[in-house]
A and B are shown apart, each in its own frame.
Chain A
Amino acid sequence: MAQRIKFYQTGTFTVGNRLLDETARTVQATLERDNSLTSGHRACQGCGEALGARYALDSAMRAADRKMVAVNATGCLEVFSTPYPETSWRIAWLHSLFGNAPAVATGVAAALRAKGREDIRVVAQGGDGGTVDIGFGCLSGMFERNDDVLYICYDNEAYMNTGVQRSGSTPPTARTATTPTVGEHPGNVFGQGKNAPLIAMAHNIPYVATASVCDLHDLEAKVNTAMSLHGARYVHVHVPCPLGWGSQPCDTLKVARAAVESGLFPLFEARDGRVTEVTPIRRKVPVEAYLKLQKRFAHLFKEPRDEQALAAIQAIADRNIARFELIDGAVA
């Protein structure tokens, strides 16, 4: 039967559905998904990182035909999944120090090569603290040597595990334990920002992508692409943290969506240092729609509203939209 649309209820943005061709469904829709991170873990209710990690690793496991080792930096993801002697991981998994996951992953890849087991793929993962701050030297080295590792950063924009301290990835004005809402410019400062994906691109590595836990199809496609390549690859996944951001546990995906749709978290892919694809914004929203869902930005909306800060954050989103061409010319 000819079908004018290849989706159900038109263009499935849902995880799967009964009418979709099996090959067009996500890994997460299948009964056979690995559940790399299984039940019983101690992540908070509505944890974006737990979800993002399962999404990414299940997809990588399928792409690697289940021959895969994961190295995990210290951080929330490690703490909530492996209180000794329990583990939530159903994959070969190694815990490294906070700052050396890329170096350990490099070592694992080298060891496998030495043993002639290059069929086994290596993935390293960590939070934004372990990636963009503490582990950044090791990460840059891994990129520079083009080691055969896929590094996945789950970015929840602060050190959540130790009590929500600011990281290099914390957005301006956000409240954290170390950037309290006091003084003339409450919350985190407007610095220069630290865009890890763009820095990764500057190494001209084979593949860099950003993804969000709110867009599963996009995320799985990017992990698949990354797994189809060799050399150093980097995927940066935006994962809201209900505890640290002060959002409702049930709103995790709504918050993540607002970040993408406002332009604050652009979704793109880059090969060999050049942006090759962007995921366009479907229903554009102002940054306020994103900020208002989170208590860490609540001070911006207390009367009198901090219009200057709001305008500055909107300017960041607008710059992203222009820079990555997130909206078709006519609309922008």
Chain B
Amino acid sequence: MEKPFAVTLDVGSSLANLTGSWRTERPLYVDRLPPCNHACPAGENIQGWLYHAEEGDYEAAWQVLVRDNPLPAVHGRVCYHPCEGACSRGQLDEAVSIHAVERFLGDEALKRGWAVEAAPESGKRVLVIGAGPSGLSAAYHLRRLGHGVTIHEAGPMAGGMMRFGIPKYRLPRDVLDGEIARILGMGVELRLEAKVEDIPGVMAEGGFDAAFVAVGAHLAKRVDIPAREAAKILDAVSLLRGIESGEPPKLGRRVVIYGGGNTALDAARTAKRLGAEEAVIVYRRTREQMPAHDFEVAEALEEGILINWLRTIKQIDETTFTVERMELDDTGWPQPTGEFETIEADSLVLALGQNVDTSFLEKVPGVEIRKDGIVEVDEHMMTGHAGLFAGGDMVPAERTVTVAVGHGKKAARNIDAYLRGEVYAPPPKPEVVSFDLLNTWYYTDADQSVQPMLDSLRRRTTFDEVLGGLDEDSALFEARRCLSCGNCFECDNCYGVCPDNAVIKLGPGKRFEFNYDFCKGCGLCAAECPCGAIKMVPETI
């Protein structure tokens, strides 16, 4: 070829120079486990459903949500959201109000009638005992896996503690009924007032291949208080159950509630709504030590509930309660002081916790029951009796609706494997994203959306729902506050900041790829990834 004067070589491109050979470390795209997902007792993929909600695709978001939790409208209201405690955004400004978005999605689903498909029939049948959160969750997940499910429930209605333990002002019954109806609509058979006394018998008779027991813990714990004259004493469980069955007990003008858990607060707030002028909680330790959640205590105080911390009830004489002042010792344990006070009250509600009614399990061979009445299960949620699984409040775990729903899912997956003669192996969990892996520079401050609260008068006198939901605008805003910890949200940062154009953008929804021919391994992409979805690993030679 004829070349111009003084030019001897053809023009070439630097693309011939593969600078990838300089690299000692290579970037990798990873999906790490966001702290919210890690903290969720129901194993929800929270970051995953928020990702779709951010786009305004609420149905896709909901479908991801219900892969793990069949009751989002319930959980958006009653879950104590450990996810928000773990949320990375909490270290930046305020945690994402995950429960409020979950509630919005749950309510949208009920409003629009979104449904889930069950898998083709497997021909196997599973007996579920108890229609509380754990039993309903197991039934739902088993149906999704294609198994036939029949629930036997001793009570007159499904819902368990969600109905008979959580007051209406926290969980309106149309919401609960709607979500239960959706599960039943998948072909789950529900038998009410069908208490199971003989599990092997019912299984044989009904041709069941496995069973899941989740009868909960509903026997109220008692305490002996010397009472000279007959005093009106009842327990919180019967109080709350009485309201639900339309027979609220008569409590009188002044009510004392004994205990410091969430149930004690529910009982006190219920008593107030039933017309009690005074509802006084007596608890032997301090506010900081109360097992009840802080927001519940705050809401109760707003509603005029009185709380006497560091007190025990020593004696009751008709309407006069003698209480002793306690003092914390060095170990934080309350010790009596010998100083006494009196409180006037018409009735006493005991809220001291609940035990499991295990009488029907004692006969089943192989089932181990601890001294405190809790049923032992292995890591597959199976009791000592092959094919009999258990979960919820009756097995060793924290007693919340969310834990119960998580048990139901876990049990369903294990039962599914058991029915195929296999052992369920959960997929390996990726590493959890720590806050220092995020580059928060790229997120601006945005305050948490606030849910509306019912006015004070109606809170004291009616069972109307206290906390309102977010409208679509606010729910979308809230979803978009998610930092997407550990999972690419296609912000284009890696694509932009690479000085060597070694990141290939694959287009919407397809994320990115590295061009290792040119990547020099500088690590800028990993350092500038806002959500910690790029990892640098040493190059092998």
- Indicate whether A and B interact: yes
Binding site for B on A (CB under 8 A): 1-5, 7-19, 25-26, 28-29, 31, 35, 37-43, 45-48, 50-51, 54, 81, 84-88, 216, 242, 248-254, 257, 283
| CB-defined contacts of B524 to chain A, threshold 8 Å | 46, 51, 249-250, 252-253
Closest to A37 in B: B501
In the bound complex, do residue A4 and residue B477 qualify as a contact, i.e. CB atoms below 8 Å apart? yes
Binding site for A on B (CB under 8 A): 9-19, 22, 54-56, 441-446, 472-473, 476-477, 480-484, 489-493, 495-502, 505, 507-509, 515, 517-518, 520-524, 526-528, 530, 536
A-B pairs with beta carbons under 8 Å apart, 18 shown:
A2-B473, A9-B481, A10-B446, A13-B443, A16-B492, A17-B490, A17-B491, A18-B508, A19-B55, A39-B517, A40-B15, A40-B518, A41-B500, A51-B524, A86-B13, A86-B16, A87-B13, A242-B522
Closest to A283 in B: B441
| CB-defined contacts of B493 to chain A, threshold 8 Å | 14-15
| CB-defined contacts of A13 to chain B, threshold 8 Å | 441-444
| CB-defined contacts of A45 to chain B, threshold 8 Å | 22, 520-523
Closest to B24 in A: A45
In the bound complex, do residue A250 and residue B523 qualify as a contact, i.e. CB atoms below 8 Å apart? yes
In the bound complex, do residue B497 and residue A15 qualify as a contact, i.e. CB atoms below 8 Å apart? yes
Complex CA–CA separation, A5 to B54 (angstroms): 12
Q: Provided the pairs A9-B443, A17-B490 are in contact, do residues A87 and B22 lie with their beta carbons within 8 angstroms?
A: no
Pick from A10, A35, A47: contact of B480, CB under 8 Å: A10
| CB-defined contacts of A5 to chain B, threshold 8 Å | 446, 477, 480
- Most chain A CB within a 10 A radius of its CB, from B54, B56, B443: B443
Q: Would you give the shortest CB distance from A130 to chain B, in whole angstroms?
A: 20
Q: Is the interface of A mostly helix, strand, loop or mixed?
A: loop
Q: Is the interface of B mostly helix, strand, loop or mixed?
A: loop
| CB-defined contacts of B11 to chain A, threshold 8 Å | 85, 87
Q: Would you give the shortest CB distance from B14 to chain A, in whole angstroms?
A: 3
Closest to B511 in A: A18
| CB-defined contacts of A19 to chain B, threshold 8 Å | 54-55, 480
In the bound complex, do residue A216 and residue B527 qualify as a contact, i.e. CB atoms below 8 Å apart? no
Q: Provided the pairs A39-B14, A40-B16 are in contact, do residues A29 and B481 lie with their beta carbons within 8 angstroms?
A: no
Complex CA–CA separation, A88 to B17 (angstroms): 10
| CB-defined contacts of A242 to chain B, threshold 8 Å | 522
| CB-defined contacts of B508 to chain A, threshold 8 Å | 18
Pick from A3, A28, A39, A85: contact of B515, CB under 8 Å: A39
Q: Would you give the shortest CB distance from B435 to chain A, in whole angstroms?
A: 16
In the bound complex, do residue A40 and residue B18 qualify as a contact, i.e. CB atoms below 8 Å apart? yes
| CB-defined contacts of A37 to chain B, threshold 8 Å | 501
In the bound complex, do residue A14 and residue B521 qualify as a contact, i.e. CB atoms below 8 Å apart? no
Q: Provided the pairs A9-B443, A14-B492, A84-B9 are in contact, do residues A46 and B499 lie with their beta carbons within 8 angstroms?
A: yes
| CB-defined contacts of A46 to chain B, threshold 8 Å | 499, 522-524
Q: Would you give the shortest CB distance from A27 to chain B, in whole angstroms?
A: 9
Closest to B529 in A: A14
| CB-defined contacts of A10 to chain B, threshold 8 Å | 443-446, 480-481
